[in-house]
Amino acid sequence: DSGVTQTPKHLITATGQRVTLRCSPRSGDLSVYWYQQSLDQGLQFLIQYYNGEERAKGNILERFSAQQFPDLHSELNLSSLELGDSALYFCASSPAGATNEQFFGPGTRLTVL
């Protein structure tokens, strides 16, 4: 158990809908990262937050947005969902100023029908 929690574990929804994925980092970690992993694909970096502020952005679609709240939990919002958005979404956290080691949550499996 990495100490990072993600909810929900599974999510099934329809095209055009909007969903919110939630992540709670390890106690004391200030950085949160979001990744998308499609079937048999690598980890695609989406976005990083550090202590509430956006720090780095990857290949995140405009239909996707995220935020980190004062209690450091983070939410990833996916809207106007398409079939191709079906994937595993991982959240990871790391201690302040150290991104050498990231601790990954168990992931949310999103299925868009």
Residue 18-57 contact track with other proteins, rule CB under 8 A, x = bound: -------------x-x-x-----xxxxx--x-x----xx-
Report in angstroms how near the CB of residue 80 gets to other proteins at its nearest. 26
Is residue 2 at the binding interface for other proteins, with CB under 8 A as the rule?
yes
Q: What is the 3-state secondary structure (H, E, C) of 85-104?
A: HCEEEEEEEECCCCCCCCEE
CA distances from 1 to 26, 35, 59 (A): 10, 18, 28
Q: Which of 22, 61, 95, 103 binds other proteins (CB under 8 A)?
A: 103
Dist CA 110 CA 3 (whole Å): 21
Nearer to other proteins, 33 or 64 (CB): 33
